Amino acid sequence: MRYHILSGVGLISACLFLFCLSIPMNLSLAQMSKSPGKEPLKETLVQGRFLGLKEALEIAMQQHPALQVANSNLKAAQARTEQIRSLYYPQVYADMAAAAGVGGINPRFVTPAGAMLRQNLSQYTGGVIANQRLYDFGFTKELVESSDKAAVAQEQDISARRALVELNVQRTFLASLKHRRLVQIAEDTIRVRGAIKSQVEALYRQQLKSKLDLDFVQVELTNAESLLVKARNNLKAGFADLNRAMGVEGSDDYVLEDIPTEVRPLPSLDSLIESSRSHPEQKKAQEQLRSAEAKVRATKKQYLPTVNAIASAGDYETFDTSRGERTGGWWAASAVLSFPLFTGFLIENQVHEARAQQTAADATTADIQQVLTQQVTTSYLNVLSLAQQIKLNEELVKTATESLQLARERYKLGLSSVVEVTQSEVGLTAAQTKLAEALYDYKIAEATLVYAAGGNTQLQIDPTIR
């Protein structure tokens, strides 16, 4: 009997063992630890996907709404050019007319002629009319050129928007890297201050340090935790800004590619200002100015005559053939010379409008060049200033590190209080924060300088980008 009981226990144990093996291996620790009297373990947060700067730029170039708008505007501008170019080709229309009663139809131009009274009669005519502009003293040519320059300006607008989108992606990417570095500094600070607290707490229990020292360290640790929360929130906001710069609704967590933050020599300011003259915004303004100039020339040509050729052909029939009306096919051709005598000041005001648009385009071109010159100068000086700040902050970090080491040694020997150690650690954290901000602000200013200088290749963050 005992043998059977033991055998049953062994069978039950074997079944339980096989059941445990059948549990999916990917079951989370939190699910497996749900047992009475035990607190579930916390699940590890899954980090976001890896995102490099080049990939972020490619996503923005493909999906950003601003670029899609610019491409649509270009297609519309090209379509407008083709609409105006249609004046070079004949305009052909089909017409059909019918009349009954005493009214008649003029078959040559397919129009009812009510004054041509006759006996009651039912008749119809159908045909085609072709109208070809022969000569307009260059009006169509200037109008096409104006529209074509406007289309070229839209092409430059695409390049300008691409450059601006690229700048925004670089700036938000670098800003996210800066926030990530500040998170790392805050985490390191918490670890250091936590270690200091553990040491002071151990000494307090041994009655070698006062409760004041422990409370002071706890306050600084709480401040560090508060800064960490703020840094993490800023990082999340930076990822949201990066998604907006790419024009997507992406993840709120990325593993970002590291970007070198070394300081590099700059070209001369004059060469950068000269390079800014090839900026897409400047080229766009210049094409818009050329378009406005051509439109002024076109509107002035409206004072001159226009020569058109008109031809028509078709068939004329009556419903009552017993009346002896002549029916059958017909054709006609003529030339028309049109000369504007009075248009209610339409042409005059069109010329005034075109001249005002030309003046505005000329002023816009000058304004954009001034803005670019100012942006290049400001960015250039900002880059120089941040490069100097980087050197000073590097020295400050070095000094703060040595000061913290000295304060720790003095505290171990009982030659100073914990206040000196904590203040030294706070000074090191502040110095590291300033250095991180200066490094990434330098790269952001450098990217801005590249944009303002029209994409100067000597200042690119990554030579493989363009």
pLDDT digits (tens, 9 = 90+) for 15-68: 333 333 333 333 333 333 333 333 332 333 345 789 999 999 999 999 999 999
Q: What value does the mean pLDDT take over residues 240-249?
A: 93
pLDDT value of position 22: 39
DSSP string, 101-122: ES-EEETTTTEEETTS--SSEE
For 412, the token pair is 């171990």
Q: Which helix (H) or strand (E) holds 199?
A: helix 139-205
pLDDT higher than threshold 90 for residue 320 = no
Question: Do 368 and 277 form a contact (C-beta atoms < 8 A)?
Answer: no
Range with the poorest average pLDDT among 123-132, 184-193, 229-238: 123-132
Quote the tokens at residue 197.
Answer: 């607290």
Confidence of residue 200 (pLDDT cuts 50, 70, 90): confident
Judged against a pLDDT cut of 50, whether residue 309 lies above it is answered with yes
Q: What integer is the mean pLDDT of 387-392?
A: 95
Structural contact between residues 75 and 114, judged by C-beta atoms closer than 8 angstroms: no
Q: Looking at the predicted structure, is the pLDDT value of residue 126 above 60?
A: yes
Q: Say which DSSP state 125 is in.
A: E
Confidence of residue 101 (pLDDT cuts 50, 70, 90): low
Output the pLDDT for position 321.
Answer: 57
Name the nearest CA neighbour of 449 among 369, 368, 380, 384.
Answer: 380
Rounded to whole angstroms, how far apart are CA atoms 142 and 144? 5
pLDDT one-digit tens code per residue, 169-182: 999 999 999 999 99
DSSP for 39-105? PPPPPPPPP--EE-HHHHHHHHHHH-HHHHHHHHHHHHHHHHHHHHHGGGS-EEEEEEEEEEES-EE
Average pLDDT over residues 216-245: 92
Give the whole-number percent of the chain exceeding pLDDT 70: 81
Q: What is the mean pLDDT of the chain?
A: 83
Count Cα neighbours of 280 within 13 Å in the Cβ-side half-sphere: 17
Residue 462 — very low, low, confident or very high, per pLDDT cuts 50/70/90?
A: very low
Contacts for 232 with CB less than 8 Å, ≥ 6 apart = 183
Enter the pTM of the model: 0.77
Residue 68 structure tokens: 């899609």
